[in-house]
Amino acid sequence: MNKDSLIQFIQQVLPMSPVKVEQLVENFRPMQIERNGHILKAGKVCNTSHFIEKGIIRSYTYDFEGNEVTTAFYLKNDFASDQLSFFKRSPAKEYLQAITDCETWYITYENMQAAFHALPEFREFGRLNIISYYGDLKNRMLSMLQETAEQRYSNLLHSSPELFQNVPLKYIASYLGITDTSLSRIRKEFAKK
């Protein structure tokens, strides 16, 4: 593993000098996570934020009836963490699990705080990432309220087709807020088009 994809990602979000980006990436360490392994469990404080170089991570929780519900997917060049737990130092309400074998670059809470204080560029990079994360969360909430299951399926299929090759359909169905049976019906309808 090398940090080239992490460096490219940082430069896309906030272009900065090679010296500054090298200082920033020095705070990240490599990690390999086996398929189905967890990087966070509910009830624990999230201490790491992972930049995904390879693989897919999902977050999930349980609803009031005890059903497992997928709340997000994190793909290559995404950061995966429970942002609320990470920054507020509170117990997580979700799990983070590798769907495939994953390779990540992670930064600890302590190293992130030190980098925020030492590198103004990192503060700005962090701010831009939090805004992006919030935007994704807001768009997901609105899509669950304003779009049909078919529209949500179509949007996910176009934005993240790799999910459909690598993720069990039951996780996709729960993410879309529908049953496995409904997902099968929608997939058949789309296959006819």
CA–CA gap between residue 83 and residue 133 (Å, rounded): 9
The per-residue pLDDT for 2 is 85
How far is residue 68's CA from residue 52's CA, in Å, rounded to a whole number? 24
CB 56 within 8 A of CB 172: no
Determine phi and psi for 101, rounding to 5 degrees: -60, 135
Q: State how far the alpha carbon of 175 is from the alpha carbons of 21, 115, 158, in Å.
A: 35, 34, 15
* Residue-level pLDDT at 37: 98
Contacts of 125 (CB under 8 A, 6+ apart): 10, 13, 14, 24
Name the pTM for this structure: 0.92
Residue 193: per-residue pLDDT:
75
Q: What is the pLDDT along the chain (193 residues), one digit of tens a residue?
A: 789 999 999 999 989 899 999 999 999 999 999 999 999 999 999 999 999 999 999 999 999 999 999 999 999 999 999 999 999 999 999 999 999 999 999 999 999 999 999 988 888 988 999 999 999 999 999 999 999 999 999 999 999 999 999 999 999 999 999 999 999 999 999 888 7
The one-letter code for the residue type at 156 is L
* Closest residue by Cα to residue 92 from 137, 28, 47: 47
| Burial bucket for residue 149 (CB in 10 Å: 0-12, 13-18, 19+) | middle
Report the first-to-last Cα separation within the chain, whole angstroms.
Answer: 41
